[in-house]
Chain A
């Protein structure tokens, strides 16, 4: 029997240096000439779940307490959990070993339905400012925090993970069909800041430093 293959909707026009095959995805760990940052990383192979239930406060996905207020997020053990509204949370698996899909029907895996990107580096907010009117540096909010709004005119979920100098960075998801134009728009906006595609290793290192 032929093995299945999972494809990321994102394709960077740069040469990969190291590729790892994981759960039927070809994951680029490092690209040629990544530079010194900022970086754009494709994380579309990383598992994403949607949790929807009328009893959200009683749920503890993977043993993590869901934030009480919509717009708040929590990052624990490589898992990012974002409170979207009274009944919904999104869960992003950012780092660490593969997670097991919970058995309850409230969980829906949405990995293949969306594109997942990370933008990291000191000038990340200058790049984001060119693409969205949302304030990703809002000092009144504690990181990590979630925005549900337009980024490059596309409805997205955007999470500011850190705004500490070189650790600054956001992750964002939107519908899979926008992948190519979203990547083109971000790379174009980041050109003047030296934004370059990078492999997953940059994100793994970044997440462990937070």
Chain B
């Protein structure tokens, strides 16, 4: 199944126009009391969800926007909400 992604500026486009930016992991951890281990976890560790996850994408060949979408990693289809089911 070809991946399509909905850019907030340009609308629905071919997935090949975009660059994947990784899972959405929430805000950057507070630097106070931040240990090298917890920083390493934040940067490198992923949940690798088999299902719907929120992730970052960059519209490389288009408007240059960074944004998040929800995608079902088992079907490679974009979802409107994290709870969306087939």
**B10 nearest CB neighbor, chain A only:** A148
Kindly state whether residue B46 has any CB partner on chain A within 8 Å: no
Interface size class of B (residues with CB under 8 A): 10 to 19
Kindly state whether residue B86 has any CB partner on chain A within 8 Å: no
Task: Say whether B62 contacts A85, CB under 8 Å.
Answer: no
Picked from B10, B17, B60, the residue with its CB within 8 Å of the CB of A71 is: B10
Residues of B within 8 A of A84 (CB): 9, 63
State how many angstroms separate the Cβ of B13 from the closest Cβ of chain A. 7
Picked from B9, B13, B61, the residue with its CB within 8 Å of the CB of A85 is: B9
Task: Say whether B65 contacts A149, CB under 8 Å.
Answer: no
Report the separation of the CA atoms of residues A148 and B10 in the bound assembly, to the nearest whole angstrom: 7
State how many angstroms separate the Cβ of A6 from the closest Cβ of chain B. 27
Task: Say whether A150 contacts B61, CB under 8 Å.
Answer: yes
Interface size class of A (residues with CB under 8 A): 10 to 19
Q: Mark A143-185, 1 if CB is under 8 A from B, else 0.
A: 0000111100001000000000000000000000000000000
Report the separation of the CA atoms of residues A84 and B13 in the bound assembly, to the nearest whole angstrom: 16
Kindly state whether residue A133 has any CB partner on chain B within 8 Å: yes
Kindly state whether residue A16 has any CB partner on chain B within 8 Å: no
Chain A positions within 8 Å of B, measured between CB atoms, are: 70-71, 84-85, 133, 147-150, 155
CB pairs A–B below 8 angstroms (14 shown)? A70-B10, A70-B63, A71-B10, A84-B63, A147-B10, A148-B9, A148-B10, A149-B13, A149-B17, A149-B61, A149-B62, A150-B61, A150-B62, A155-B61
